[in-house]
Structure 1
Amino acid sequence: MAEITASLVKELREKTGAGMMDCKRALGEVQGDLEKAVDWLRTKGLSAAAKKAGRVAAEGLVGVAARGNRGAVVEVNAETDFVGRNETFQKFVSATAGIALETAADMTRIAAAPFPGTGRDVQGELTNLIATIGENMSLRRAAALSVSDGVVAGYMHNSVAPDLGKIGVLVALESTGDKAKLAGIAKQLAMHVAAANPQSLTVADLDAAAIERERAVLAEKAGQTGKAADIVAKMVEGGLRKFHQEVVLLEQLFVIDGKTRVSKVVDDAAKQVGAPVRLAGFLRFALGEGIEKKSEDFAAEVAAQLKK
């Protein structure tokens, strides 16, 4: 029997788009013959996934997993929102979020991790889903949060199942205080993040290029007033403070009461939990954000089909 080398498995995977474990099994079934392995995968419907890889996948689900002082969030994309209601797909996203929690959301480790009850790795199970459901899918991204002493709480907006939906948020609070009370506060802050969509935790964390763009716009507007240079400078600084209050989490007004700064909410939390509290970080994944969706002209598509 021919030796099934890692390079041969890699070549078959690149050739077919099938999962690593499926490729290894295929090569074993045909004594290492690459072309026969391609045909073997085709007969099992596992190489069909490669044909779908060029299609835009901007729907799907976001999944969160939080446990004690750590949490993870993942986004798995598909082509249509219908797939998000598929129970098998939901189970895949939920399990993958749990795996991300155990692998510190390292994408390489997630893809290679064993998928429960299948004999395949996560990438192989995703490839199997593509072949079964008939849509292009991708494990697009994953991220994790943790604190040494405190809690990480998750929140899912527009949920279709527990911890699955379209906007997933994690908030990490650091404190030696009462963990149950701390978790409740973190959950409220996660709801705020889902609604307010902050760009950064602090002013110092804001992207410098974003600040300069905002400063340039404010300077242009203020300059058009014809006022003195020192007044224009004050107008620009005032505008930047307002900008910070709109996009920086600790500077935003808490959506739950509409009047308290988030920074004060965090400070006041110390009284509830019995120890100082620090907002250590947050993550917010909105399904499909940043993906350029193809604009479909249905009439033109039908006309093109009729010409064939």
Structure 2
Amino acid sequence: MEITAALVKDLRERTGSGMMECKKALLETRGDIEAAVEVMRKSGLAQAGKKAGRIAAEGMIVIALAPGAKQAVMVEVNCETDFVAKGDAFKQFAQDVAQVALKQQPGDVDALLALPLGEGSVNSVRQALIAKIGENIGVRRFVRLESKGLIGAYSHGARIGVLVDGEGADAELAKRIAMHIAANKPMAVAPQDVPAEVIAKEREIYSAQAAESGKPAAILEKMIEGKIKKFLAESTLLSQPYLHDAEKTVEQVLKEAHAKVLRFERFEVGEGVVRKTENFAEEVMAQVRKA
């Protein structure tokens, strides 16, 4: 695969590393940017991959909650610019899509697009909106939660949305837990819920980093285990300091309330989507050449 300047630029933005280091990592991984981030983390060149989750698309997250808070749907609808995302027509479409998803219970995005909306389907309304606004608009994903207890929901500026399936929690606590998840981005409820392959990948990275220290194997293993423990504590909900009272963990707060979190879903607009970077000067020159 050709290592383009755009690919190098994207990796530089995601890792904070120099151009030559990024190009070398991309050559080593044959242009696989995710693998390149991993390689650079192992060598300590990347800034812990902190920019790997940069938001790269516009749009909004919409939550539709059924009466009684036992069912809920969260939908991400994307567009190309923030200007369109703030427009009434786009916002109304996104709200309508969420309501359709809640009421009709489609199995996937394709099924959702085929459902009736207005005088046509969700997809035909989407296409009409594209023609009217002049931007590409897409229904990217949705998730549906059903609870025997109570679903907590929180939306932050329509850019972050969280649904929490809670047991034993009242509406206020469920919402506060959802707010915590929005702010702290846990990847799972508890350490045992973190996929084994994620832990294995982190262990591999920490092992590569520790090997550079030249310390005895027994000490290296303790260092690695310590980093894994810290990683799990920072990235799982129950172990995190509670947003509204940092003296307690989320687990302690839930125990005091005799409540549990069974599952949660967190969406952020554009996460994982790579935005094409436009160069205005190049665009003008391209138009001149065509003339």
TM over 0.5: yes
Q: Distance in 2 between matches of 1:174 and 1:109?
A: 30
Q: 1:238 to 1:95 in 2, by over 3 A?
A: same
Question: Which residue matches 1:8?
Answer: none
Query: Hey, what's the Cα distance between the residues in 1 that align with 2:235 and 2:88?
Result: 36
Q: Hey, what does 1:110 align to over in structure 2?
A: 112
Q: Which residue of 1 aligns with 2:25?
A: none
Q: Work out the CA distance in 2 between the residues paired with 1:98 and 1:153.
A: 17
SS in 2 for 1:300: helix
2:160 is the alignment partner of 1:167:
yes
In the alignment, which residue of structure 1 is the partner of 2:143? 143
Q: Which structure 1 segments of 5+ residues have no match? A: 1-56, 160-164, 176-180, 271-276
1:245–1:253 contact (8 Å) kept in structure 2: no
Aligned amino acid, residue 130 of structure 1:
I
Amino acid at match of 2:205: V
Match of 1:257 in 2: 245
Q: Equivalent residue of 1:258, what SS?
A: strand
CA RMSD in angstroms comes to 1.8
2:287 is matched with 305
Q: Is the 8 A contact 2:239 2:251 kept in 1?
A: yes
Aligned to 1:76, the other structure's residue is in SS state strand
Which structure 2 residue ranges, 5 or more long, are not aligned?
A: 1-55
Aligned residue type for 1:103 = Q
Residues 150-191 of structure 1: per-residue CA shift (max 9 Å, x gap): 11121111x2xxxxx11111111023xxxxx61111111111
1:82 and 2:83 equivalent? yes
Q: Number of matched residues?
A: 232
Q: Counterparts of 1:1-308 in structure 2 under 5 Å? A: 58-67=57-66, 68-104=69-105, 106=107, 107-115=109-117, 118-148=118-148, 150-157=149-156, 159=157, 165-175=158-168, 182-270=170-258, 277-307=259-289, 308=291
Q: C-alpha separation between the residues in 2 aligned to 1:156 and 1:198?
A: 16
Q: Is the 8 A contact 1:167 1:285 kept in 2?
A: yes
State percent identity of aligned pairs: 38
AA aligned to 1:152 is I
Q: In the TM superposition, what is the alpha-carbon distance from 1:93 to its structure 2 partner?
A: 0.6
Quick check: 1:153–1:171 contact (8 Å CA) kept in 2?
A: yes
Closer, same or farther in 2 for the Cα pair 1:105/1:287, shift >3 Å? farther
Aligned residue for 1:260, secondary structure, equals strand
1:139 aligned counterpart, secondary structure:
strand
Q: Which amino acid aligns with 2:102?
A: L
Please give the alpha-carbon distance, in whole angstroms, between the structure 2 residues aligned to 1:301 and 1:207.
44
Q: Distance in 2 between matches of 1:110 and 1:282?
A: 22
How much has 1:225 moved relative to structure 2?
3.3
Rounded Cα–Cα distance in structure 2 between residues aligned with 1:267 and 1:108: 41
Any idea what SS the aligned residue of 1:170 has?
Answer: strand
Query: TM-score of the superposition, structure 1-length normalised?
Result: 0.71
Give the C-alpha shift of residue 105 in structure 1. Answer: 5.2
Higher-Rg structure is: 1
Aligned counterparts of 1:232 and 1:203: Cα–Cα separation in 2? 22
Deviation at 1:144, TM superposition (A): 1.1
- Partners in 1 of 2:254 and 2:106 — Cα distance? 27
Distance 1:103 1:250, change over 3 A: farther
- Over residues 213-233 of structure 1, what are the superposed CA-to-partner deviations in whole Å (9 max), with x where a residue is unaligned? 211222233333333322222
Determine the C-alpha separation between the residues in 1 that align with 2:234 and 2:104: 34
Partner of 1:284: helix, strand, or coil? strand
